[in-house]
Amino acid sequence: MSGPSFTNPTPQFGTAEFKGGPDRCQLCGQTLGSTYYRVGPNQACPACAEKVKFETPKDTHSAYVRGLIFGCGGALLGLIAYSTFGIVTGLVIGYLSLLVGYIVAKAIMMGSRGIGGRRYQITAALLTYAAVSMSAVPIGISIYIKQRDAKKKTLVQHSVPGQTQQPPAAQPPAAQSPQASSQDALDDDDADANAGAPAATPGSKPAASKVSFAAAIGALLFAGLASPFLELQEPFSGIIGLIILAVGIRIAWRLTAGVSTEILGPFNRTSPPPPSAG
């Protein structure tokens, strides 16, 4: 009698050992010696453990600088997208914070070539917050320009020759958004400073303009960075906006965590290695 069981007495044993047996490397399939390593969840031979350790990208200063540069570019791109949408549509949708966080994180990981970690996460969180909050500055400037142009158009329409102009009726102060209020505050500060200042001399004019320009830039930066909290003037929408911003920051934080392969060992085998074939 010559059945299949006699011609091939152990047809699948070698394959079964490779898949789950304790005596083989789960990365290359070679028989383990007296020592082994743990590469993540896998049992590995010393050669495979050394190979994985050598091929794992290292976190260096240059990698972080590249990630930072790319992240700043991603933050600028997110700021432009957020601001453009708000200016064109007249709507400020907080859900765009999620997109900004994703763009910033992907840019950082592209620059670092896949290396992540705690400092990359902190950088991504700060850049995401800065991009979303600073978008209030161009949106606020756009609102200010539109309101100024509307006032000029109204004055031109009332300036008809041969007619006596009537003074405009007093209007109650309207509620202002954080973007518009920051611009009005800058205008008021400049008006007060000019009213109380003495006549400028030719030598002092450039210095005064430099100081006012620096003060204006500083006020815009402060107003932009504080804009998510200034939105709390309307509690419901302000809180919702902060929550969505926090989710966007969380996305950036999670995507820049990186993937690290833990290598543990060497460990001694409790049982002797199987005899080699032949």
Query: 198 pLDDT exceeds 90?
Result: no
152 in helix, strand or coil? helix
Q: What is the pLDDT of residue 11?
A: 45
DSSP codes of every residue in 83-143 = HHHHHHHS---TTHHHHHHHHHHHHHHHHHTT---HHHHHHHHHHHHHHHHHTHHHHHHHH
Q: What is the mean pLDDT of residues 11-21?
A: 42
In this predicted structure, what is the pLDDT of residue 69?
A: 97
pTM score:
0.62
* pLDDT in the model for residue 196: 47
Q: Could you state, in order of their start, the residue ranges of all structural domains in the chain? A: 61-135
Which H or E element spans position 265?
strand 263-268
* Residues 142-153, mean pLDDT to the nearest whole number: 84
Count the Cβ atoms, other than its own, within 10 Å of residue 76: 17
* pLDDT number for residue 55: 77
pLDDT, residue 262, reads 78
Q: Is the pLDDT of residue 78 over 80?
A: yes
Q: What distance in Å separates the CA atoms of residue 41 and residue 38, rounded to the nearest whole number?
A: 7
Out of 15-19, 138-142, 163-167, least confident range: 15-19
Answer yes or no: is pLDDT of 17 > 70: no
Residue percentage of the chain with pLDDT more than 90: 27
| Average pLDDT of the segment spanning 140-168 | 73
**Considering the chain, what percentage of its residues have pLDDT values greater than 70?**
69
Q: What is the mean pLDDT of residues 12-30?
A: 60
Range name among 52-56, 150-154, 215-219, 271-275 with the lowest pLDDT average: 271-275
Minimum mean pLDDT range among 40-49, 65-74, 110-119, 150-159: 150-159
Average pLDDT, the chain: 76
Query: What kind and span of H or E run contains 36?
Result: strand 35-39
- List the single range of 85-99, 195-209, 226-240 with lowest mean pLDDT: 195-209
Please determine, for residue 195, whether its predicted confidence score (pLDDT) is greater than 60: no
